[in-house]
Amino acid sequence: MSVSHDINTLRELKDGKLSFEKLHGLISGFKDADRFDKMVQIWQESVEWDDPILLPLAEHLFVVRKPDGRRVVKSTWGYEYCDVQENWKLHAKVFVRDSEELINEIYPDKLGCDPEWMQLREYYDPLSGALLEVEVVPPGYPIVHDFKPDIDTFYRDWLGRPVP
Amino acid sequence: MNQFIMSMDAGGTMTDTFFVDDTGRFVVGKAQTTPADESIGFGRSVEDALAQWGQAPEAVFPKVATGIYSGTSMLNRLLERKGRRLGVIVTAGMEDYFQLERGIQTYLGYSYQDRLKVSTHRHNQPLVPRERMKGVRGRIDLFGTEAIPLYEHEAEAAVAELLDMDVEGIVVNLLFSYVNGAHENAVKEAALKVMQRKGKSVPIYLSSELYPVMQDFARLNTVTIEAYAAEPSRGQFQKIADRAKNFGGQFELRVMASHGGTISTEARELARTLISGPIGGMVGARYLGAELGIGNIVCSDIGGTSFDLGLITGGEFTTKTQPDMARFVLKLPLVDIDSVGAGTGSYVRLDPISKRIEFGPDSAGSRIGMCFEQGGVDTPTLSDCNIILGNLNPNNFLGGEVILNKERSYQAIKERIADPLGLDPYDAAEGVLQLFENHLRNEVYARVFGKGYSPEDYTLFSYGGGGPMHVAGYTKGLNFADVLVPAWAAGFSAFGCACADFEYRLDRTVNVATASPDLAPAAFEQGFDLLSGAVNAGWEGLRAKVKDEFAKSGVEAGQIEYRHCLRVQYVGQLNDVEIELPFQAIRSVDDIREIIERFEAAYSKEFSRSAKSPELGYLVTNVLVRGVVKVMKPALPNFPLHGPEPTADALKEIRPIYRNGKWHDARIFDMDELLPGNVITGPAVIEASSTTFMVPPGAEARLDQHLIFHLRHLED
C-alpha cells in the first residue's frame, strides 16, 4: 500500500498555507512515494520559464535541462548561473560584510562577530536582488560549494528511470 | 418505582442520558448534542430515554433524587479558544509565561514517535495574548517571607491598563503565593480601588485563593482555565438545571469532577469538571466492586478511539495531582487513568517500507470503517476486521440502525493488508486482531505488574462499546481472579457517574519536613510544633472551605464525612505519595509516627521496600481534605437464577466465525433474552444493540443474578 497526497495539499505545503493539523499528519505519516514528481510539477507551474526542472537545488534555485541537453542552475526569476557541476555562487552578486560597521548593520552592539575572525558573505540573485544564501566563514575561506548532486544516479537508483 | 437517578453525558456528537430506578431498572436515551444551548439536546435525550418506559419527563422528573452532568462543552471552549477575554497579572519578569510554556506542552498528547520528531512540536496558542500579561514587581520567597515589597503603584497601573483593554476578568498569579498570599491580596485591593475609580467591575481570580499549590506554571494554567473556560460554563449548567426544573425536577444538578466525585455547579473550583468522561467508568467499577465485595479491580474500557485502563486497589483508585488536559499541565486532582490510543475504530495500515501493521493513532470514530459507506472513510479499521471474520453482525450495529457493508470491508482488507503481505484476507484480519489484542494484553499486564501487583489478585472489568468484543483476547493467559462484563457495558460510564458521591477534595501546599524519629530523635522532637502547626492549620482551613462549598447546596455540616489526607515524600525526592490519616489533627508525636508508618507502607508498595530512605527525613508537601456526602446510588439489579441452558428464544442464529485459522459454527445469542444463571460456551457471540460480547472457543461466560457476565478461559 503506497501513500500518496493530493497535489493541492502539496501546493499548500509549498506555499506554507497548510493548517498545522494537516501538516502534522503529513510529517507523521508514511512517506508518499510520488512526492518528488508532484513537487517538481508544482515548482514547474510556479515559474515563468519553460526549461524542465530536473531537481530543486536550494531555495529559489533549480537544476533545469536546456534544449541542448546542458544541465544548468537557474533561479525562480530566470537567471541562469552555470552548469550544475560548477558552484553557482561564483556567478551570483556577492556582498561581503567584513568590517565592524557592516556587521553591526545586522548584529548591533556586541552581538556581532570580530571581522578579523569571521565575515558574512551574502549571495544575491542578479535579476531580482533576492538574498539566496549567507555564508559565515573566516576571512580567506574558500567559497563553499553546498551541494553537488549526482542527478543520473538519483534518477536511476531512486526513481528507477533515466534522467528525462 | 419511587425514586430515580439521572445522569447525562453531553459528548461531542451525542448527548446520552441514563435513568435508573431503585430496583436497578435503567434506560439510556440519545440525542444530538446542541453545543450552543446544551439543554435542548438534553431535553430531547431525556424524552428519548423515558419514551422507552412509556413515560413523559414530567411524570418522572419530580421523582428524580439525583441528577449528574458530565460533558465536553468546557473542554471544547478551551480547545476552540472561545473563552473569556482575560488579563493576567504575574510577578514582573514572568510575563512571557504563555509564550514560553513548558517544553512538554509542545508535544503533550502526541504519540511516542512524534515526541521524538521535534519538527512536530508546536507551541499552543496562548489563552491570554502577551499584551494582556502584566508584570508587577515584588517578591515573596519560598519560605513565605517578603523579600521585596509589592510595588502597589505598578499593580494599580496594570489593572488600569487591563480595564482599558476591556478585559472580562483578571487572573493574579504571583510567585510563592501558595505559601503567603499577602501580595496577591494586595493586588486585589489595588484592583478594587482602580475599579471603583473607573466605575468598572470585573471578577478577580487569585491563585492563592483558588489553587494554593506549588508549581507556578501549572498553577497559572489552572487558575487561567478556571476564569477562561470554567466560569462561562455556569450559564450552560443553569440552562440545563432550568430545563430539568421545567420537567418538574426538584434536585440540584451536580457535575462530575476529575477527582471522581460530583460537585455543585456553584463550586468555586469548577475547572476540575473539565474532564469527566473516562472517570465515570472507574467510579462505577469502584461502586460495583464495593457491592460485590471485590477490592482489587482492573478497569478496562474500549471505545472507538482509545483503550483506557485504571486500577482500583483495596477499594480505592489513585489520584494524579498534576495531570495534563488539552495540552496544558494543570494542578488538579485527576483519577489515575492511562489511555492507549487504540480503539475499535482505529485505522489499520501497513507501513509501506517495513510492511509492519500499525494501528491508529487516528481513528474513524463514529464513521466506523470502510464497511460504513456513508462515512467516507478510505482506510480499513479494526471494526472492518471484526466484520469479515463474522465477529460483528453487520445488520446489528446500534441495534440495526446502521447497516454495514461486509463486501467493502473484505475488499479493503484484501487490497490494503492481505495482498501486500501475500496472505489470505481472513488470516490477515485475524492476525490484525490478534496483534491488537496482544498489544492490549501487554498494556494490561504492564499496568498491573509494573505497580508490583499480580493479576491473580485482581478482577478485570471490561466495558465500553468495544470492551466485550476483545476482552477474551486481552485477558487470555493473564489469570485474573475473575473477568466481569456488565450487560450494560456500553452505558457503563453514564452508570458510573450516577454512582459518584457528592464530594469536594481540596488541597494546599505546606512543604514542612520532619526527621526520622529513630535516626534523629532530637530533631524529630524539635520539629513537632512546626509540622503539626502547619498540617493542623491546613486541614482546618480546608475543612472550613469544604463546609462553605457544601453550604451552597444546603448541606448541613453534620452530614459531611471528612477524610484527612497528606501527600508525603522523602526530603529531596520528587514523587509524593498520598496517604489518608485516621485523625483530623496531629496531637502527639505518635500521630507523626503514624504518618511516617503509613507513608512508608504506601511508598514501598508503589516503589520498593528497599528504596525506603528514612535517613533523608520526610516532607509533607500537601494537605488535603475530602468532604463526602453520601447520596443515593443506583441499585444493583438482582434476579432469580435459572438453569445454565439458555432458552430457545435467546438463540438468534448459527453464524460462521473465523478463529485460529479456521471457520467455526458459532451460536449467536440475543443478550436481552439470556437469563441469569445461563452459561454460554464458546464459540458464541452475544449480541446487544450497543455492544457485542465474543465468547471464543475454549471460553465460557456465565450470566449472574446482577446481569454481569463472568468470562472464564477453560484452557488456562
pLDDT band, residue A1 (cuts 50/70/90): very low
Q: Is residue B432 part of a domain?
A: no
Residue A30 distance to chain B (closest CA, Å): 7
- Of B229, B256, B282, the residue at which a domain comes to its end is B229
- B29-38, B97-106, B211-220, B627-636: range with lowest mean pLDDT: B29-38
Mean pLDDT value of segment B695-709 = 94
* Residue of chain B whose Cα is closest to the Cα of A26: B120
- Of B608, B629, B650, the residue at which a domain comes to its end is B629
Q: Which residue has the cell 514542612?
A: B512
Q: Among residues of chain B, what percentage have pLDDT more than 90?
A: 63
Rounded mean pLDDT of chain B?
91
CB < 8 Å to B120, chain A: 24, 27-28
Q: Is residue B124 part of a domain?
A: yes
Q: What cell was used for B140?
A: 515573596
Report the alpha-carbon distance of residue B346 to residue B368 in Å, rounded.
Answer: 9
Q: What cell was used for B444?
A: 494490561
Distance from CA of residue A44 to its chain's centroid? 14
Q: Is residue B379 part of a domain?
A: no
What is the amino acid identity at position A163? V
C-beta atoms of B114 and A28 within 8 A: yes
Q: Give yes or no for residue A88 having a pLDDT over 90.
A: yes
Q: What is the pLDDT of residue A2?
A: 66
C-beta atoms of A1 and B117 within 8 A: no
* Residue of chain B whose Cα is closest to the Cα of A4: B352
Q: For the range A17-22, what are the long-range contacts, defined as Cβ-Cβ under 8 Å and sequence gap of 24 or more?
A: A20/B122
Q: Is residue B460 part of a domain?
A: no
Q: Is residue B37 part of a domain?
A: no
pLDDT digits 0-9 by tens, B399-415: 777 888 999 999 999 99
The enclosing domain of B624 has a CATH number of 3.30.1490
Q: What is the pLDDT of residue B89?
A: 98
Q: What is the pLDDT of residue B631?
A: 86
Mean pLDDT value of segment B428-434 = 95
For A83, list phi and psi in degrees, rounded to 5: -65, 150
- A71-85, B268-282, B305-319, B555-569: range with lowest mean pLDDT: B268-282
Q: What is the pLDDT of residue B305?
A: 78
Q: What is the pLDDT of residue A96?
A: 97
- Pick from A1, A2, A28: which is nearest to B117 by CB? A28
Residue A115 distance to chain B (closest CA, Å): 34
- B260-274, B469-483, B663-677: range with lowest mean pLDDT: B260-274
Mean pLDDT value of segment B100-106 = 94
Asked if the ipTM is above 0.85, the reply is no
User: What distances in angstroms separate CA B546 from CA A98, B306, B426, B502, B625, one per listed residue?
Assistant: 70, 35, 58, 11, 8
Report the alpha-carbon distance of residue B460 to residue B300 in Å, rounded.
Answer: 7
Q: What is the pLDDT of residue B716?
A: 55
Cβ neighbours around B354 below 10 Å, total: 9
What is the amino acid identity at position B553? S
Report the alpha-carbon distance of residue B79 to residue B124 in Å, rounded.
Answer: 10
Say if CB B4 and CB B21 are below 8 A apart.
yes
Mean pLDDT value of segment B542-565 = 93
Distance from CA of residue A94 to its chain's centroid? 17
Q: Is residue B535 part of a domain?
A: yes
Q: What cell was used for A129?
A: 536582488
C-beta atoms of A27 and B119 within 8 A: yes
C-beta atoms of B352 and A31 within 8 A: yes
pLDDT band, residue B580 (cuts 50/70/90): very high
pLDDT digits 0-9 by tens, A111-144: 999 999 999 999 999 999 999 999 999 999 999 9
Distance from CA of residue B516 to its chain's centroid? 37
pLDDT band, residue B1 (cuts 50/70/90): low
Q: What is the pLDDT of residue B137?
A: 97
Q: Among residues of chain B, what percentage have pLDDT more than 70?
A: 99
Q: List residues in chain A touching B: CB distance below 8 A.
A: 1-3, 20, 24-25, 27-28, 30-31, 33
Report the alpha-carbon distance of residue B365 to residue A121 in Å, rounded.
Answer: 54
Mean pLDDT value of segment B100-117 = 90
Inter-helix orientation angle A35-46/A7-15, to 10°: 60
- Report the number of distinct structural domains present in chain B: 2
pLDDT digits 0-9 by tens, B384-395: 999 999 999 988
Mean pLDDT value of segment B133-140 = 97
Q: Is residue B528 part of a domain?
A: yes
Is the CA virtual torsion A149, A153, A159, A164 positive or negative?
Answer: positive
Between A and B, how many residue pairs show a Cβ–Cβ distance under 8 A?
29
Mean pLDDT value of segment B590-600 = 94
Q: Give yes or no for residue B702 having a pLDDT over 70.
A: yes
DSSP code of residue A120: E
Beta strand pairing call for B169-173 and B204-206: parallel
pLDDT digits 0-9 by tens, B16-74: 888 988 887 888 887 878 878 889 989 998 998 899 899 999 999 999 988 998 887 78
CB < 8 Å to A25, chain B: 362
Sorted by sequence, the CB contacts under 8 Å of residue B93 that are 6+ apart come out as B135
pLDDT digits 0-9 by tens, B121-132: 999 999 999 999
C-beta atoms of B352 and A27 within 8 A: no
C-beta atoms of B352 and A1 within 8 A: yes
**Choice between B627 and B326, residue whose per-residue pLDDT is larger:** B627
Q: Is residue B480 part of a domain?
A: no
- A97-101, A145-149, B491-495, B575-579: range with lowest mean pLDDT: B491-495
User: Considering just the CA atoms, what is the radius of gyration of chain B in Å?
Assistant: 27
- Of residues A120, A123, A118, the one with CA closest to residue A90: A123
Q: What is the pLDDT of residue B277?
A: 64
Q: Give yes or no for residue B710 having a pLDDT over 70.
A: yes
Question: pTM for this structure?
Answer: 0.85
Q: Which residue ranges make up each domain of chain A?
A: 1-46, 47-159
Residue B221 distance to chain A (closest CA, Å): 23
CB < 8 Å to A28, chain B: 111, 113-114, 117, 120
Residue A24 distance to chain B (closest CA, Å): 6
- Whole domain around residue B132: which residue ranges? 81-229
Q: What is the pLDDT of residue B634?
A: 86
Is the CA virtual torsion B260, B265, B268, B273 positive or negative?
Answer: positive
DSSP code of residue B499: T
Q: Give yes or no for residue B544 having a pLDDT over 70.
A: yes
Q: What angle do CA B691, B696, B699 make, to 5 degrees?
A: 110
To test the contact with chain B by mutation, choose from A3, A28, A31 the residue with the greatest count of B C-beta atoms within 10 A, namely A28
- Of B202, B229, B256, the residue at which a domain comes to its end is B229
CB < 8 Å to B363, chain A: none
User: What distances in angstroms separate CA B235 from CA B38, B74, B231, B346, one per listed residue?
Assistant: 10, 11, 8, 36
Q: List residues in chain B touching A: CB distance below 8 A.
A: 111, 113-114, 117, 119-120, 122, 349-353, 362, 415-417, 420
Residue B408 distance to chain A (closest CA, Å): 17
Terminal Cα distance for chain A, rounded:
27
Residue B164 distance to chain A (closest CA, Å): 34
Map B84-141 to HEC letters.
CCEEEEEECCCCCHHHHCCHHHHCCCCCHHHHHCHHHCCCCCCCCCHHHEEEECCEEC
Q: What is the pLDDT of residue B614?
A: 92
Mean pLDDT value of segment A97-121 = 93
Say if CB B317 and CB B311 are below 8 A apart.
yes
**Choice between A155 and B65, residue whose per-residue pLDDT is larger:** A155
